[in-house]
Chain A
Amino acid sequence: MNLAEHLNVIGPAVALFVGSGTVLLVGLMLPRRAYSFTLTCLALIIAGIWLLVHHAAGTESSALGGAVRIDAFSNFFSIVIVVATLSIVLATRTWADTLERSIEFYALLLTAAASMTILTQASDLITIFIAIETTSISQFILVAIVKDDKGAEAGLKYLLTGAVAAAVLLYGFVFLFGVSGVVSLDQILSFAESAPEEYRLVLLLSLMFIVAGLGYKMALAPFHGWAPDVYQGAPSAIGSFLSVASKATGFAVALRLIYSGLGGGDFYLATDLSRIFVILAVASMIIGNLGALRQTDAKRLLGYSSIAQAGNIAVGLAALTAGSVSGASAVTFFVATYLFTNLGAFLSVHFIRSKLGSSELTDFAGLIKRSPLVAVVLSISLLSLTGIPPTAGFIAKVYVFNAAITGGDLWLVGLVAVAVLNTAISAYYYLRWLRMMWLDEPSGDSAIRPDGWQQTVLVVMMAGTVLIGILPNPLINAAKTAVESLI
């Protein structure tokens, strides 16, 4: 393999890194801020096209001595990340222009997206860890990019918990390396296939640490403590980035580790792993939903809701490790629908916050009169988060629950029972919010209008949510192809 071929594999990430550097350099040399927006979009579009070319060509190859691997799976998740980042950049432009540090905002967003792209490709433990760290460091700063008390508190909280999570993850990796003596996922796989029984305890310990470390990324309870505070304190642009892109990466890493590193349901500890995921999923759904019930702030509510949703996605992980074939594709599918659904919700909240200066639920009263487009988009997103048809969220939930049930394991049947009952709880706070927008009297008379980019992005998110809800087949097929490339 020559340099060009190596470069081709990690090309999208390189494009984003270069973009980030260029934004910084141009920002230093030229006073015009507008360039950073344009450059950021340009970098994201180049990366996106590059990924689409890989996707169309069906590229599958390893590079950099096996540290990264490009396949349908990494492309799928990278596209999710790039699309999410681009949407956020476009929809929050007006807000970013008012930032004191808008150049750093764009540069760090690109660094984070680049590391996430690498993370979806990473196929040895060291690369995974380094990419996670690069992502996290960018995000620590992004959370606190607005210098006020709330931002600082959120940033510090995210930093401290993040540091602990990274340490725990690394500890887990060390254990795994200690017993196997290898770091690349391929080699770990051949070790796992014939791992002797006496390693059981240490392997289990290692897996628990790894799950804890990744659970922080996915905002799974009980590693969720940071989520509500950070989602509330951080700017909503960053909140949406964390909830969609960061979460997607967490699940991508988990899926690749479980599938390529441990052999999915065939691993002899898979059942134990499945039990762990069942417990985490149940805890996340219950804590997330009960927490969300009491919230009066939209951002904080979405923080809790994203914990509950992580629980829903983790149902798929539990199914996968219990040997259900469709568990992995269900998770993949869910993450992609979550992009449209949750960005629709978060960017609507961002819009209200940037216009009204606060994001209390009461600010949304009568939104249908003040800003019909945003109200409709947010409503569709809330319906999708609840799982009411005909939206993507409905299909995603049915897909994940169905995967769990086909596993035929009693734990999973119980898990699905808890999950469906939690759906009922979540309907209470999602639909209460929806009702306020449609039926309550507005708190102010003035109409509020989103700018052109915001309108476009919001409409795309809504269209995605509804289209996937009605015709889910193309996305399901893409998710299946993605997962098949792991095996």
Chain B
Amino acid sequence: MLTGFLLLPLAGSIMTLFVPEHRKTEARWIALFFSTLAFILALVIYVAYDSTAGGMQFVDSTNWIQTDVVTLGFGLGVDGLSAPMILLLGLLGVVSVLVSWKIDEKPGQYFAWLLLLESAIAGVFLSLDLIQFFLFWELELLPMFMLISRWGSGRKLYSATKFLIYTLAGSALMLAGFLLLGAAGGSFDIQQLTESPVTETVLPMAVVFWAIMLAFLVKLPVVPVHTWLPDAHTDAPTAVSVMLAGVLLKMGGYGILRIAIPLMPDAALQSQDILAGLAGLSIIWGGVITLRQTDLKRLIAYSSVSHMGYVLLGVSAMGAVGFSGAALQMFTHGTITGLLFVMVGYFYDRTHTRQISEMSGLIHHLPKGGIIMIFAGLASLGLPGLSGFVAELTVFLGAFEAHPVATTMGIIGVVLSSGYILWMVQRVLHGPADPKWEHLRDSTSWPEWTAIVALIIPIVLFGIYPAILAEIVETGLQQVSGIVTVLEGGI
């Protein structure tokens, strides 16, 4: 089943590649077909996952490489931590195809890269083996680089290259860290290394921890290694921004919860204050920078930096509640920011500008779009009743005891985010109606609306009834919370 989820987008990718260039509609439908199929499969996996039993389920695994020293497995499995990520990926996979419907430039190639991206990310979330995890982590770079540098706008090559270099530099040291862990533990199997963590390598554990952590922090991203993100976002096409903010950043948080903490719990516990500090810094710095943005898309991009700070804050608490908060925040941020980027694309497609100063009173001309934008904004600033609130609250509850200062910074961050979101809404949507936008009409195209509705549903659903998400997430985090609780008791 999981192999199916991994291979479906890949199959679609290969098929769209062979669609002749002039038959653009066919490429779109093939991409939609395969991504929808993958989404349905993700939904089935999510629903069929037995959270009372817990642990890795639907495991497909085989021996892949045997060298003199180690055996590398190739295994796919899903647990309470990865199941929501898979669901999110499936959902955003469909959304990103839908919002790319109007791409007119070589849609065959475009969708091929987009679907390949989905497969690569699926591999990251499903991997049961460190080297395999690294393999998919690297595989995701190429489609992102191609998508941004070809179908982007502005300084697209610069941004794509910056993305590439940052990520590669981060992941390079991650490989070194993995190899050290594998050499000391005699295996690259994540489950095995979680059950009997490596306590000693040639280098101090703290060095190994930070070598691996760096890759995740770059991906998350955390101040001060976040500068690739605004550039990549600003110049990427809408669908790629959705995938980037929606699932790509989550690979960082996922890596921390799946690998960095369970495999090196001692080092993680010792570093928790630094992590909390970084989280607080990201939240505040990200928030302040966001306030100063004049470009609508850049504004949303920077708000991601601030919001992903909450994920790190939850993680740094090193406790069950904080971890849950972090995982919930990853999921909700994926849907909410995904929606925000879709809406930014929606406005940009009509006004052809992203400068906030040029927009004014857009809600008079685009009432439907305006309302959705306000909805997304409110979800983003954590309005109770929507899913963002639940996640942020859980993070604060989990983190307050361990890191009161950082948590306070986090709460200030909420105030900041109310500030930039509401101010943005006021400048873009309200104010006097500008006659130069009079010709604008709300969208009537079904792909766009399907995408929007598909994102609104989970935001409302998990806001009203968070248990369906929280329950499965908690099962997934039992093991790692157990490990750190035992260790904390020992300290």
Contact = CB atoms under 8 A, between A and B. Distances in A.
Interface stretch (A5-13, A35-43, A169-177, A403-411): A403-411
B202 A410 contact: yes
A222 interface: no
Contact of B150 (A330, A417, A439): A439
Interface residues of B, number: 37
B101 interface: no
B34 interface: no
B131 to A, nearest CB: 6
B interface secondary structure, majority:
helix
A420 B172 contact: yes
Contact of B145 (A405, A413, A431): A431
Contact of B69 (A325, A416, A423, A477): A325
A390 B68 contact: no
B109 interface: yes
Contacts of A480: 67-68
Contacts of A394: 135, 138
Contact of A413 (B134, B150, B202): B202
A473 interface: yes
Contacts of B109: 438
A325 B202 contact: no
A405 B172 contact: no
B168 A424 contact: yes
Nearest to B157: A435
A326 interface: yes
A428 B176 CA distance: 20
Given A388-B142, A413-B176, A435-B146, A403 B164 contact: no
Contacts of B40: none
A14 B175 CA distance: 45
A interface secondary structure, majority:
helix
A389 B139 contact: yes
Nearest to A395: B65
Contacts of A325: 68-69
Nearest to B180: A405
Interface string A377-413: 0000001000111100011001101110110111001
B267 interface: no
Interface residues of A, number: 40
A348 to B, nearest CB: 18
Given A406-B183, A473-B66, A424 B142 contact: no
B149 interface: yes
B173 A421 contact: yes
Given A399-B67, A473-B65, A416 B179 contact: yes
Nearest to B181: A405
- Interface centre among B67, B138, B168, by most chain A C-beta atoms within 10 angstroms, is B67
B66 A476 contact: yes
Contacts, number: 105
A365 B134 CA distance: 31
B141 interface: yes
A473 B62 CA distance: 13
Nearest to B179: A405
Interface string A418-433: 0011011001100110
Contacts of B138: 387-389, 394
A406 B168 contact: no
B68 A423 contact: no
A402 B68 contact: no
A329 interface: yes
A157 B130 CA distance: 46
B141 A388 contact: yes
Contact of B149 (A402, A417, A439, A472): A439
Contacts of B172: 420-421, 423-424
Contacts of B66: 473, 476-477
Given A399-B67, A421-B169, A413 B180 contact: yes
Contacts of A413: 176, 180, 202-203
A410 B157 CA distance: 38
Contacts of B165: 424, 427-428
Interface in B47-95: 64-70
Nearest to A405: B179
A137 B168 CA distance: 42
B202 A409 contact: yes
Contacts of B169: 421, 424
A402 B69 contact: yes
B161 interface: yes
B338 interface: no
Contacts of A439: 146, 149-150
Interface string B17-42: 00000000000000000000000000
A390 B165 CA distance: 20
A417 B68 contact: no
B110 to A, nearest CB: 11
B191 to A, nearest CB: 20
A438 B108 CA distance: 13
B237 to A, nearest CB: 13
Given A416-B179, A439-B146, 5 more contacts: A330-B67, A388-B138, A389-B139, A402-B179, A417-B173
22 contacts: A326-B67, A330-B67, A383-B142, A388-B139, A389-B135, A401-B176, A402-B67, A402-B179, A405-B179, A406-B69, A408-B183, A408-B202, A409-B202, A410-B203, A413-B180, A420-B176, A421-B169, A427-B165, A428-B161, A428-B164, A435-B146, A439-B150
Closest 6 CB pairs of A and B: A420-B172, A424-B168, A405-B179, A389-B135, A439-B150, A326-B68
